[in-house]
């Protein structure tokens, strides 16, 4: 009986189909694993204290990548300064204050569209508004502002989700005890939603740190033999540097190329890992 | 009560200010979309005055001699995007069906983080690997003059679009009520029949949204495509079009904006391409979100 049932054509179809899907899934994620392993193997030999802490020499074909590392750090920090407070405040408005009306729907559509605009178009916008119109020049300031607006929808969406996941009863009790709406948000809802918000912020900044197109015309420098001195200086940055040394500099040693890619990868995936850890820890400790 | 207002008066002002700041922040997204639109128009629209429409819709992109046809660039974007989707839809949808319907939890815990890592890989890293590894390999494998072609671009774009498609399709599959599956199983369907006969059709509007956003992601992608497609803004001339170099709209902006004089015709045309990209992403996103909204109301109707 059992044997007979397991050999019907529907069963065979199921067996083939499910294994096909398994194969497809493996084929999708195996390249990811391969990419990481390959970059680590090829890039690791280039990594040394000198590589991380010294200036490029000999037309970037020797020496280190310090200015690019510092530049990416500054740009990420600059992006955080603008996008984190604005993004969280916007999320608070949408999740806690906004009435369900035309304007709120318009805000939602705007956020969806901000998320969809191509990164190079952000670059054009940053060039038009920050570099030329506001006369910030090609600078860390202009690039950070451009990256901030690009990062905003990520931060708003994830922070909104985190705020909404806080049970309604928390708010009801707080308001019932006489707290105002803002006191409720600040003392009750925000602390509960914090791990989710931090995770979203890090994921947004991770994206900003790896972007090249938005900074191409707003703040990235091909080569600078010194560290940036002020927010109005242009800067080297890891993603743009990778583009430069893999397409614009002939005779570039492969070792330095892979080494630079590995440093960016560690930077970006390190942020990803921190975000994941925070999320898991918060889930484990959640009381509701 | 009068007492209470008296005591809390400075606090009231403070709260009023805070609430105002929060409200303004909430509306900032509308401001930014508007600003982006205004500045693209401001810099890009004059192109239409300085370049005749016959040139914009001509056959050549050769800015030095005043040929500003965006058709080869639109073609470039289209061919890599379509190619990418032909790869990314089966792999992306297949992976999400596997994750949400078949895979045991421990396998989910391995595959999902890998998809997330793929989503987080900077496109310049994929572009670099495209130049270093994929293009030379394809060149040898298919005996081509160069591996930097539309096909290489499509393969990389497929990798970039897949995480978007996976995460949204998976959400869509997860929102299908489990009662649907149980009912089908109770009628004697195999798990496979449930998947293709019930679950996937029930989630189709969500899957459509996923595909639309995959389109948006692919058309807007810049660095990876710029690095591996060979940078040749030409219309197709034969059946080997998939294996010849192309150039997308995004790559054209990225590679030429650094070299043009601000305010020149060339500069304006590059902004004009930005307007085209902006409008495309607007349409794609509005369609995608209206599709999923319609789907949700339909699901609600079915359930009530």
pLDDT at B82: 95
Q: How far apart are CA B129 and CA B119, in angstroms?
A: 16
Chain B within 8 Å of A98 (Cβ-Cβ)? yes
pLDDT at A171: 93
Q: What is the mean pLDDT of residues B117-122?
A: 92
Kindly state the helix (H) or strand (E) to which residue A198 belongs, with its residue range: helix A190-210
pLDDT at B14: 87
For chain B, the structural domain boundaries read 2-44, 49-303
Q: DSSP class of residue A288?
A: -
> Alpha carbon of A90 to those of A148, A174, A217, B44, B87: distances in Å?
14, 22, 28, 30, 37
Confidence of residue B304 (pLDDT cuts 50, 70, 90): very low
Q: How far apart are CA B213 and CA B137, in angstroms?
A: 30
Domain membership flag for residue A197: yes
Q: How far apart are CA B223 and CA B227, in angstroms?
A: 6
Cβ of B94 within 8 Å of Cβ of A13? The answer is no
Chain B within 8 Å of A35 (Cβ-Cβ)? yes
Q: Does domain B49-303 have CATH number 1.10.3720.10?
A: yes
pLDDT at B17: 92
Chain A within 8 Å of B115 (Cβ-Cβ)? yes
Q: What is the mean pLDDT of residues A255-279?
A: 92
Residue A249, burial from CB neighbour count under 10 angstroms (0-12, 13-18, 19+) = middle
Chain B within 8 Å of A97 (Cβ-Cβ)? yes
Domain membership flag for residue A12: no
Angle CA A204–A190–B163, to nearest 5: 25
pLDDT at A70: 95
Q: Looking at chain B, how many residues does it have?
A: 304
Query: Residue A287 pLDDT > 70, yes or no?
Result: no
pLDDT at B2: 45
What would the two tokens of residue B2 be? 């009068």
Question: Which residues in A lie closer than 8 A to residue B230 (C-beta atoms)?
Answer: none
What is residue A117's three-state secondary structure? coil
Domain membership flag for residue A94: yes
Task: Provide the domain limits for residue A72.
Answer: 67-285
Q: What is the mean pLDDT of residues B151-179?
A: 93
pLDDT at A7: 62
What would the two tokens of residue A84 be? 């984190």
Task: Single out the residue of B246, B226, B212, B245 nearest to residue B71, CA to CA.
Answer: B246
pTM: 0.91
What would the two tokens of residue A283 be? 């889930």
What would the two tokens of residue B11 be? 């606090």
Q: How far apart are CA B69 and CA B234, in angstroms?
A: 10
Beta bridge partners of A102: none
- Looking up tokens 């009628």 gives B187
State the best of B32, B86, B155, B277 to mutate against chain A, taking most chain A CBs within 10 Å: B32
A219, closest residue in chain B (CA to CA): B258
Q: Looking at chain A, how many residues does it have?
A: 288
Q: What is the mean pLDDT of residues A28-52?
A: 94
Confidence of residue B7 (pLDDT cuts 50, 70, 90): low
Query: Residue B285 pLDDT > 50, yes or no?
Result: yes
Confidence of residue B296 (pLDDT cuts 50, 70, 90): low
* Antiparallel, parallel or unpaired: β A56-57 and B67-68: unpaired
pLDDT at A8: 79
Give per-residue pLDDT as tens, A58-73.
Answer: 878 888 899 999 999 9
Number of domains present in the structure of chain A: 1
d(CA B65, nearest CA chain A) in Å: 23
Chain A within 8 Å of B205 (Cβ-Cβ)? no
Q: What is the CATH number of the domain that holds A72?
A: 1.10.3720.10
Q: How far apart are CA B269 and CA B56, in angstroms?
A: 9
Give per-residue pLDDT as tens, B244-265.
Answer: 899 999 999 999 998 898 889 9
Judge contact between B214 and B287, C-beta under 8 A: no
What would the two tokens of residue A61 be? 């074909």
What is residue B67's three-state secondary structure? strand
What would the two tokens of residue A270 be? 């390190």
d(CA A199, nearest CA chain B) in Å: 13
What is residue A60's three-state secondary structure? coil
Q: How far apart are CA A21 and CA A189, in angstroms?
A: 42
Chain A within 8 Å of B253 (Cβ-Cβ)? yes
Query: Residue B95 pLDDT > 90, yes or no?
Result: yes
Domain membership flag for residue A193: yes
pLDDT at A10: 81
Judge contact between B162 and B230, C-beta under 8 A: no
Q: How far apart are CA B275 and CA B42, in angstroms?
A: 10
* A254-285 helix and A190-210 helix, angle to the nearest 10 degrees: 170
Question: Which residues in B lie closer than 8 A to residue A143 (C-beta atoms)?
Answer: none
d(CA B304, nearest CA chain A) in Å: 22
Domain membership flag for residue A248: yes
pLDDT at B3: 47
Question: Which residues in B lie closer than 8 A to residue A18 (C-beta atoms)?
Answer: 102, 191-192
Residues 6 or more apart in contact with residue B144 via CB below 8 angstroms: B138, B243
Chain B within 8 Å of A52 (Cβ-Cβ)? no
B24, closest residue in chain A (CA to CA): A90
Cβ of A90 within 8 Å of Cβ of B103? The answer is no
Judge contact between B244 and B150, C-beta under 8 A: yes
Question: Which residues in A lie closer than 8 A to residue B114 (C-beta atoms)?
Answer: 29, 32-33
Query: Which of A132, A182, A217 is closest, CB to CB, to B257?
Result: A217
Residues 243-282, chain A, touching B (beta carbon < 8 A): 243, 246-247, 254, 257, 261, 264-265, 268-269, 272, 276
Q: How far apart are CA B250 and CA A118, in angstroms?
A: 8
Q: What is the mean pLDDT of residues A79-96?
A: 96
Query: Which of B36, B117, B277 is closest, CB to CB, to A272?
Result: B117
pLDDT at B1: 42
Q: What number of CA atoms fall less than 13 Å from residue B99's CA on the CB side?
A: 29
**Chain centroid to CA B49:** 31
Query: Which of A97, A106, A212 is closest, CB to CB, to B124?
Result: A212
Residues 50-69, chain B, touching A (beta carbon < 8 A): none
Judge contact between A110 and A93, C-beta under 8 A: no
Q: What's the mean per-residue pLDDT of chain B?
A: 88
Confidence of residue A172 (pLDDT cuts 50, 70, 90): very high
pLDDT at B288: 85
Radius of gyration of chain B (CA): 25
Question: Which residues in A lie closer than 8 A to residue B15 (C-beta atoms)?
Answer: 180, 182
Question: Which residues in A lie closer than 8 A to residue B98 (C-beta atoms)?
Answer: 21-22, 24-25
- Looking up tokens 């160069």 gives B146
Question: Which residues in B lie closer than 8 A to residue A39 (C-beta atoms)?
Answer: 125, 129
Between B60 and B296, residue with greater pLDDT:
B60
Question: Which residues in A lie closer than 8 A to residue B126 (C-beta atoms)?
Answer: 35
């Amino acid at each position: 009986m059992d044997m007979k049932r397991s050999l019907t054509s529907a069963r065979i179809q199921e067996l083939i189909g499910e294994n096909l899907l398994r194969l497809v899934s493996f084929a999708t994620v195996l390249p990811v694993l391969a990419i990481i392993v390959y970059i680590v193997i090829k890039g690791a030999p280039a990594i040394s204290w000198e590589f991380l802490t010294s200036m490029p020499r000999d037309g970037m074909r020797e020496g280190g990548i310090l200015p690019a590392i510092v530049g990416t750090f500054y740009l990420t920090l600059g992006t955080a300064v603008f996008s984190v407070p604005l993004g969280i405040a916007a999320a608070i408005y949408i999740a806690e204050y906004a009435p369900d009306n035309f304007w709120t729907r318009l805000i939602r559509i705007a956020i969806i569209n901000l998320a969809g605009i191509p990164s190079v178009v952000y670059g054009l916008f940053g060039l038009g508004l920050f570099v030329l119109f506001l006369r910030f020049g090609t600078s860390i300031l202009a690039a950070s502002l451009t990256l901030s607006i690009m990062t905003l929808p990520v931060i708003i969406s994830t922070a909104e989700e985190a705020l909404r996941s806080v049970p309604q009863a928390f708010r009801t009790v707080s308001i019932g005890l006489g707290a105002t709406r803002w006191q409720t948000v600040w003392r009750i809802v925000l602390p509960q939603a914090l791990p989710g918000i931090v995770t979203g912020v890090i994921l947004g900044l991770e994206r900003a740190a790896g972007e090249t197109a938005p900074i191409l015309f707003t703040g990235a420098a091909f080569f600078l033999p010194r560290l940036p001195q002020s927010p109005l200086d242009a800067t080297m940055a890891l993603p743009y540097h990778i583009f430069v040394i893999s397409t614009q500099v002939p005779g570039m040693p492969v070792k330095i190329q892979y080494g630079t890619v590995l440093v960016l990868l560690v930077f970006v995936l390190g942020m990803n890992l921190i975000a994941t850890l925070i999320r898991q820890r918060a889930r484990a400790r959640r009381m509701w | 009560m009068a007492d209470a207002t008296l005591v809390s008066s400075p606090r009231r002002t403070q709260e009023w200010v805070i609430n105002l700041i929060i409200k303004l922040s909430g509306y900032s997204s509308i401001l930014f979309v508007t600003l982006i639109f205004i500045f693209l128009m401001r810099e890009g629209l004059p192109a239409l005055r300085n370049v005749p429409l016959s040139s914009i819709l001509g056959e050549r992109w050769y800015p030095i001699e005043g040929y500003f046809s965006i058709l080869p660039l639109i073609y470039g974007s289209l061919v890599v995007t379509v190619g990418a989707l032909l790869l990314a839809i089966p792999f992306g949808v297949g992976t999400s069906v596997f994750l949400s319907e078949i895979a045991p939890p421990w396998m989910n815990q391995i595959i999902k983080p890998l998809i997330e890592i793929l989503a987080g890989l900077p496109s310049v890293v994929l572009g670099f690997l495209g130049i270093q590894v994929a293009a030379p390999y394809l060149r040898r494998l298919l005996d081509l003059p160069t591996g930097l072609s539309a096909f290489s671009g499509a393969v990389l774009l497929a990798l970039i679009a897949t995480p978007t498609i996976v995460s949204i399709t998976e959400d869509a599959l997860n929102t299908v009520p489990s009662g649907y599956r149980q009912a089908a199983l109770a009628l004697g369907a195999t798990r496979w029949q449930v998947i293709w006969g019930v679950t996937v059709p029930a989630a189709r509007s969500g899957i459509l949204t996923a595909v639309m956003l995959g389109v948006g992601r692919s058309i807007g992608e810049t660095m990876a495509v710029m690095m591996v497609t060979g940078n040749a803004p030409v219309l197709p001339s034969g059946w080997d079009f998939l294996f010849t170099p192309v150039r997308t709209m995004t790559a054209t902006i990225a590679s030429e904006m650094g070299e043009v004089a601000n305010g020149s015709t060339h500069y304006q045309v590059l902004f004009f391409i930005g307007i085209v990209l902006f409008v495309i992403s607007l349409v794609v996103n509005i369609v995608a979100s209206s599709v999923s909204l319609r789907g949700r109301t339909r699901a609600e109707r079915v359930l009530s």
